[in-house]
Structure 1
Amino acid sequence: MAPIEAVTAPAESDVVVIGIAAPAGSGDGAPVVVAPGLEATVTGAVAEVAHAVGASTKVGSTTRVPAPEGVPGASVVLVGLGASDGEVSDETLRRAAGAAAHACRGLGSALVLLDDERAEPVALGAGLGSFRPAKVTGSDGGDDDEISDSVRVFVAEGGADAVARAATIAECVGLARDLINTPPNLLFPGSFADRAAELGREAGLEVEVLDEAALAEGGYGGILAVGGGSSRGPRLVRLTHRGAENRPSVALVGKGVTFDTGGISIKPAAGMEQMTMDMGGAAAVVATVILAARLGLDLTVVATVPMAENMPSATAYRPGDVLTMYGGKTVEVQNTDAEGRLILADAIVRACEDSPSHLIDTATLTGAQMVALGKKTPGVMGTDEFRDRVAELSRSVGEGGWPMPLPEELRDGLDSEVADLTNVTPNRWGGMLSAGLFLREFVGEGVEWAHIDVAGPAYNDGGPEGYLPKGGTGVPVRTMLAALEDIAAAG
């Protein structure tokens, strides 16, 4: 990810990012140029060039052209902002800045001129868009162009703090993306736990790691069962950021299945390589608690992160097994590919022992999320008021969460003849909602709770779009940050 800094005057750069919007009315003629800090004659020249080359004003589209005289750079990346007859939203600025930063990768230093009054969305989009996935390579060197890349954002006086905040958020989202993209032979429960612990200590967090022996002693039946088929044993990581006394306490829980074959209920081979992202919820939670510490949020945040690898073997758990979960509930396993809810259940019970006021858990939980909402819209379930607030905040930051119900008529499908619960229902429909109902059984009484299903949104299997790269996206780090800040503000 390119370094990001604020400047209050246009400075000479290798490439300059300038926004263009469609002219009012029919759309004929030169586009409207959005480039604070440049003189009108210069923006007029940019408009002429944009019109001459037919540069698109569609949000996030980019066109690179030679810089007209007066522009402080060798070339210009024109980025579309949509129509000129309306207010440009923060999300439009994020998407445009992200697309432009992606287009500038490898070109050296970039100066972004989009909106000097709204520094944070511009800087955040640029930071997220400049992300480049790490690559496992046998060569000694790297890409020299990545080393030289930097992004400067033109801001009004006093905007430097907003840019610094955006850079911190982008770095932590980038951390989540890097964890998701790490191949599963390199990121397995033990190495993931070590990495999370290392990152936590660097951020000044309290760190606790439970290995297999500690999990067995504690009675974490769900985590042990899911991880039992792998030669690489499960872990439970706890990372704590302390706020002042008498401040709210929030629990975060994230699913950390470092690779999911489906276990005995094995998945189809096609697309299974993408199951390296099945720890996307855990990656987001680790990144979020580190972000809370780096931003100095005045509340306590405790991340409880179960990590396991779901493999078929002679020691794997089976359909028909009955598990005793942490806290004592029993679960009949009917499908070993519904494993995320099992490790989350253990972690949720442990998290609720700390008596948090709020709990947010997130997971790449169900394919049914994508059936219901597509690949970019997280499903948010939980206690009604908090669910709705988290979904609203998610939309406000551009991650698009949508509130979903927990219909009581689906709850009967979780009844078991041999245990307290089954891990799946016999009903084909409403799979995301049934999973939410299962998790609800483990949430402590009186805890405001929201579950965010990011099965689709956590991973982009298409090409880069706006500030989203191919691969891990880091969703829902920004949603959880917004929720933490909202809870802290309410006090």
Structure 2
Amino acid sequence: MTDLTVTTASPASLDVDALVVGAVRTELGPRVLADALPAAAATRLASLAPALGITGAPDDVHRFPAPDGVAARVVVVTGLGPDADDAEALRRGTGAAVRTLAGTSTVAVALPLASDDAVAAALEGAALGAYAFDRYTTDPEKPAAVGAVQVVVPDAKAARDAAERARVLATSVHLVRDLVNAAPNDLYPEAFAGAAKDAAKGTGVKVTVLDDKALASGGYGGLVAVGQGSVRGPRLVKVAWSPSKPAAKVALVGKGITFDSGGISLKPPTSMVAMKSDMAGAAAVLGTVLAAARLKLPVAVTGWLCLAENMPSGTAQRPSDVITIRGGKTVEVLNTDAEGRLVLADGLVAAIEEKPDVVLDVATLTGAQMVALGARVSAVMGTDDVRDEVVAAAGRAGEQFWPMPLPAELRESLSSKVADIANIGERHGGMLVAGLFLKDFVGSTPWAHLDIAGPAFNEASAFGYTPVGGTGIAVRTLLGLVEARATH
């Protein structure tokens, strides 16, 4: 983990490898925010900005030899877009600079931070941008994450809590990214359960694991059915942070398909390449519970990691099988590639048995989410007030979640002639149909479903604080929601 600290020292005096300043995009062209530099150097840089290629746009990062009067070796100008006061712009601009400086030992960030929210955003951006996944590389020249980052703040004492929260948040997000990026031959259900145990050590989080036999005897028909095609059996992992006298009880349920071939309803080969990421929901749930524990939030947060590997074999479930979810509801399986909702159904029922105030599930659930909202915007649906609560928490965190409806008329398409419900229905509006399926398993408990199929795994270029591969999406939103519940 990159060392993240705050300082009130003069930016020009900091003896670091790189000093980061900002630039904004205006109607009159780019404007460099270089008050951190000596006046002559700031004026010179500002006058040369267009010629140097500085635009001020998001993800526009340039580095130059440091001018006289600056102790740093280089000056880095990072784009903040049109509004330097916007928290997400600061978060993204800081993250882009730190990410671009991978391999650098020491970095200082000197952006205009005029509020507590701005300070927190810059700290989060620095921590999130300082990430590198090198588990499998043998190239000694591949740059690691930045070694240490100092953020220049108006008041170091006031910023300490924000810095600690940023460190905790980044620790969880980086864990999620590592899990999502892990190869599926290394991260299978039993291995994921072991990783959860290891990550929880010293946090006060209690971890309970149900294996194949316990799942079968406990009536977890969704997990058993999805996992029965693999030689590596399913697991249900319960991770619980239980403070004394909690202000609220929040349950989180995560889809954890460690590899999704589609089962007998086999995916096309090219559609399988990113399917190691189909456990991103469970990883996000684990990361959120650990963050809540490390911050010692006065909210009971219980996570349910629904882990299985969906493989085709002689023992795999078949289209037209009928399975029984925990609690007794029967499901006709019409497509084995609609497996995430089956394991989530088991998890939701188990979560609700403990009578939480609210339950949220998070999953890379449908390709329809990407068709509707693209690769960076997640969907949220469910009970209206909880759905709105998620959207508000996402807005504060800088994650994009869009509220979606659950049209009652689409529920009819999930009707089955032989069981209580079918696992697929109307193709059009498939994201909403999946949400309606899950709704059947939550009863009257306040609930929201977060579909993160596209945003969980970045197959394009890195941007802002987001790397290629696992992104860690939803941790910040879920943690923000839990924090808000602490003050209700």
The normalised TM-score by structure 1 is 0.94
| 1:58 aligned onto 2:61 | no
Taking the aligned partners of 1:401 and 1:326, their CA distance within structure 2 comes to 30
Residue 411 of structure 1 is matched in structure 2 by 411
1:393 Cα shift?
A: 1.9
Q: Does 1:458 align with 2:461?
A: no
Tell me if structure 2 keeps the 8 A contact 1:5–1:164.
Answer: no
Q: Which residue of 1 aligns with 2:475?
A: 477
Distance 1:473 1:25, change over 3 A: closer
* 1:246-265 equivalent positions in 2, closer than 5 A: 247-265=247-265
Aligned in 2, Cα 1:75/1:15: closer, same or farther, shift over 3 Å? same
| 2: CA distance, partners of 1:160 / 1:170 | 15
Deviation digits for residues 157-200 of structure 1 (CA, Å, limit 9, x no counterpart): 12232122112211211110000000000000000001112212
Rounded Cα–Cα distance in structure 2 between residues aligned with 1:256 and 1:273 = 17
Give the counterpart letter for 1:469 in structure 2. P
- Find the partner of 2:19 among 16, 36, 43: 16
Give, in angstroms, the shift of residue 14 of structure 1: 0.5
Shift of 1:147: 7.2
Structure-2 residue corresponding to 1:219: 219
SS at match of 1:406: coil
Distance 1:147 1:404 in 2: 37
Report the Cα offset of residue 252 of structure 1: 0.4
Q: Among the aligned pairs, what percent are the same residue?
A: 48
What residue in structure 2 maps to residue 26 of structure 1?
28
- Counterpart in 2 of 1:306? 306
Query: Which stretch has the larger CA shift, 265-274 or 238-247?
Result: 238-247
SS of 1:198 mapped into structure 2: helix
- Cα 1:419–1:147 shift into 2, 3 Å: closer
* Structure 2 residue matching 1:452: 3-state secondary structure: strand
Partner of 1:280: 280
Matched AA of 1:457: P
Q: Which residue of 1 aligns with 2:484?
A: 486
Structure 1 residue 223, shift from structure 2 partner: 0.1
Aligned to 1:438: 437
Q: Give the residue type in structure 1 aligned to 2:311.
A: M
Deviations 1:432-461 (A, max 9, x none): 00100000111142x211110000010100
Name which of structure 1's ranges 287-296 and 2-11 shifts more when overlaid on structure 2.
2-11
Q: State the distance in 2 between where 1:451 and 1:162 align.
A: 29
- What is the SS of the residue equivalent to 1:317? coil
- After superposition, residues 242-391 of structure 1 pair within 5 angstroms as 242-245=242-245, 247-391=247-391
**Structure 1 residues 384 and 378, CA, compared in 2 at 3 Å: closer, same or farther?**
same
Equivalent position of 2:104 in the other structure = 107
Provide the residue aligned with 1:131 in structure 2: 131
- The CA deviation at 1:325 is 0.8
SS in 1 for 2:239: strand
Deviation at 1:259, TM superposition (A): 0.0
Alpha-carbon distance in 2 for matches of 1:39, 1:17: 14
Query: CA offsets per residue over residues 388-443 of structure 1, 9 Å max, x none?
Result: 12123213322110110000000111111111010001x22110001000001111
Aligned residues: 480
RMSD between superposed Cα atoms in Å = 1.6
- Asked if the contact 1:415/1:421 (under 8 Å) is kept, the reply is yes
User: C-alpha deviations, 1:113-133, integer Å up to 9, x for none?
Assistant: 113332211111111112112
Is the 8 Å Cα contact of residues 45 and 68 (structure 1) preserved in structure 2? no
Structure 1 runs not aligned, ≥5 long: none
Pairwise CA distance, 1:383: 0.3
Checking the alignment, whether the CA contact within 8 Å between 1:341 and 1:439 is kept in structure 2 is: yes
SS in 1 for 2:80: strand
Distance in 2 (CA, whole Å) between partners of 1:148 and 1:340 is 37
Question: SS at the partner of 1:240?
Answer: strand
In structure 1, distance between residues paired with 2:307 and 2:100:
36
Q: Which amino acid aligns with 1:47?
A: A
Kept in 2: contact 1:197–1:237 (CA 8 A): no
3-state DSSP of counterpart to 2:484: helix
Kept in 2, the 8 Å contact 1:46–1:68? The answer is no
Kept in 2: contact 1:248–1:300 (CA 8 A)? yes
On the 8 A contact 2:84/2:112 being kept in 1, the answer is: no
CA distance in 2, matches of 1:202, 1:178: 20
Q: 1:90 aligns with which of 68, 87, 90?
A: 87
Contact map agreement 1:380 1:387 (CA 8 A) in 2: yes
Q: Distance in 1 between matches of 2:80 and 2:142?
A: 31
Alpha-carbon distance in structure 2 between the residues aligned to 1:246 and 1:375 = 36
Q: State whether residues 108 and 145 of structure 1, in contact with CA within 8 Å, keep that contact through their aligned partners in structure 2.
A: no
Alpha-carbon offset, residue 88 of structure 1: 2.6
Measured after TM superposition, the shift of residue 245 of structure 1 is 1.7
Greater Cα shift, 106-115 or 250-259: 106-115
AA partner of residue 311 (structure 1): M
Shift of 1:202: 3.1
Q: Is the 8 A contact 2:31 2:56 kept in 1?
A: no
Q: Is the 8 A contact 1:108 1:150 kept in 2?
A: yes
How far is 1:204 from its partner? 1.5
Aligned partner letter, 1:460: N
Structure-2 change in CA distance of 1:25 and 1:61 (3 Å): closer
Q: In 2, are the aligned partners of 1:81 and 1:88 still within 8 Å (CA)?
A: no
Residue deviations 1:457-480, cap 9 Å, x none?
A: 101000101111000000111110
Structure 2: gaps spanning 5 or more residues: none
